[in-house]
């Protein structure tokens, strides 16, 4: 039985499953979407389901002709996802509740369509995890060391350029003003979004597995370096043109500019890595 035939045969059960998912997540998903809208760190969440849908669309021919062999242990995985949702709700732990949706979808895919089709859908399903905001305890564990690192790098560069500057933690003291390296300047925001984009981009240009991993890992130093550049630029402006020049429009524009620079660097690296792979983009 092909995937297309299975969809017709199990149409009622699939619709019932989707209805139950809608009921279970009627409050979880809207709350997550609201966080995408309110929290700039996770605004990329709006793009993730679209990219996951594109991955499915790209494999539509393979999916339509794939042979289906339902695998009953998939029901156990879906049940674990429901249990994860319940435990997350009892503990009021949002990441556990939200990520359980991916587990349930994976389990239902295995249960209705089997392991062969699951392999074809593994990328779109796994990519959905990028839409789930990190727990704040994990976010803070990453953001704080990044802030200190970006501050140290920026201070070192400013001193090399002859700027009189002191550092106290994540605070940069200039003769004319004091700057604080906040979470937005640490690189964590760019890092989360850039890793999600790097994963998608690595599959768009069809790299080998080793080069794909290298491109995704390279998103980390690229994001950190781009944000260090933002802090350095802010320090120069504050030193030579005053504190006002480093605030307001420039501060917002610099955030967009450094992310654009990070994307250009990532695309350039991807182009370099794609040479000699023998695969078309």
Instruction: Convert the pLDDT of each residue in 214-269 to its tens digit.
Output: 999 999 899 888 888 888 877 777 777 766 655 655 666 666 788 888 889 999 99
| Residue 108 confidence (pLDDT) above 90 | yes
In degrees and rounded to multiples of 5, residue 189 shows phi and psi of -65, -50
H or E element, residue 15 = helix 11-24
pLDDT at 94: 94
Top pLDDT among 143 and 71 is at 71
Structural domain contains residue 280: no
Residues 119 and 184 in one domain: no
pLDDT class for 75, splitting at 50, 70, 90? very high
Among 91, 113, 132, the domain boundary falls at 132
- pTM beyond 0.85: no
The answer to whether the CB of 151 falls within 8 A of the CB of 170 is yes
Q: Are 152 and 111 in contact (CB under 8 A)?
A: no
Are 65 and 58 in contact by the 8 Å Cβ rule? The answer is no
Residue 48 has pLDDT above 90, yes or no: yes
Same domain, residue pair 256 and 172: yes
DSSP letter, residue 176? S
pLDDT value at 143 more than 50: yes
Lowest mean pLDDT among 24-28, 48-52, 153-157, 182-186: 182-186
Query: At how many degrees (to 10) do helices 115-127 and 188-204 cross?
Result: 140
Identify which has the larger pLDDT, 14 or 171.
Answer: 14
| Same domain, residue pair 111 and 208 | no
Q: Are residues 125 and 29 in the same domain?
A: yes
Q: Which two tokens stand for residue 20?
A: 């139950």
Q: What is the pLDDT of residue 170?
A: 72
Among all chains, which residue has been given the structure tokens 């300047």?
185
Q: Among 76, 97, 132, where does a domain finish?
A: 132
The burial of 57, by beta-carbon neighbours within 10 Å (0-12 exposed, 13-18 middle, 19 or more buried), is given as exposed
Confidence of residue 280 (pLDDT cuts 50, 70, 90): very low
Domain of residue 191, residue span: 137-274
Q: Which tokens belong to 69? A: 């062999």
Q: What is the pLDDT of residue 159?
A: 83
pLDDT in the model for residue 186? 61
Report the distance separating Cα 145 and Cα 276, nearest Å.
Answer: 38
Mean pLDDT of 29-36: 94
Q: What is the pLDDT of residues 148-185, one digit of tens each?
A: 888 888 888 888 887 777 777 777 777 777 777 766 66
Q: Read off the tokens for 84.
A: 């994860």
Question: Among residues of the chain, what percentage have pLDDT more than 70?
Answer: 90
> What whole-number distance in Å separates Cα of residue 131 and Cα of residue 45?
4
Question: Of 132, 147, 168, which residue sits at a domain end?
Answer: 132
The chain-wide mean pLDDT, for the chain, equals 84
Sequence-ordered list of residues with C-beta below 8 angstroms from that of 28, at least 6 positions apart, any chain = 85, 97, 98, 101
Q: Express as a percent the part of the chain with pLDDT over 90.
A: 31
Say how far apart CA 223 and CA 146 lie, in whole Å.
Answer: 11
Do 125 and 213 reside in the same domain of the chain?
no
Residues in the chain: 281
Q: Does residue 154 sit in the same domain as residue 252?
A: yes
pLDDT at 109 over 90: yes
Q: Are residues 166 and 181 in the same domain?
A: yes
Residue 47 has pLDDT above 70, yes or no: yes
């Amino acid at each position: 039985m092909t995937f297309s035939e299975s969809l017709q045969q199990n149409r009622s059960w699939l619709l019932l499953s989707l209805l139950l998912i809608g009921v279970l997540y009627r409050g979880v998903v809207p709350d997550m979407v609201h966080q995408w809208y309110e929290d700039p760190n996770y605004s990329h969440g709006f793009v993730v389901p679209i990219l996951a849908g594109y991955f499915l669309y790209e494999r539509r021919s393979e999916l339509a002709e794939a042979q289906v062999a339902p695998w009953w242990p998939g029901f156990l995985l879906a049940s674990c996802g429901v249990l994860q949702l319940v435990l997350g709700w009892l503990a009021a732990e949002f990441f556990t509740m939200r990520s359980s949706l991916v587990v349930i979808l994976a389990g239902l895919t295995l249960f209705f369509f089997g392991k062969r089709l699951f392999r074809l859908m593994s990328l779109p399903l796994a990519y959905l995890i990028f839409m789930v905001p990190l727990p704040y305890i994990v976010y803070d564990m990453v953001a704080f060391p990044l802030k200190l690192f970006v501050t140290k790098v920026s201070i070192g560069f400013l001193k090399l350029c002859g700027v009189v500057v002191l550092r106290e933690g994540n605070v940069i003291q200039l003769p004319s003003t004091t700057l604080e390296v906040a979470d937005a300047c640490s690189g964590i925001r760019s890092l989360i979004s850039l890793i999600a984009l790097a994963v998608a981009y690595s599959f768009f240009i069809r790299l080998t597995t080793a080069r794909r991993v290298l491109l995704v890992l390279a998103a980390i130093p690229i994001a950190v370096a781009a944000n260090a550049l933002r802090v350095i630029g802010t320090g120069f402006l504050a030193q030579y043109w005053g504190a006002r020049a480093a605030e307001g429009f420039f501060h917002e524009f610099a955030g967009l500019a450094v992310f654009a620079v990070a994307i250009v660097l990532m695309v350039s690296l991807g182009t370099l890595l794609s040479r000699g792979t023998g695969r078309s983009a």
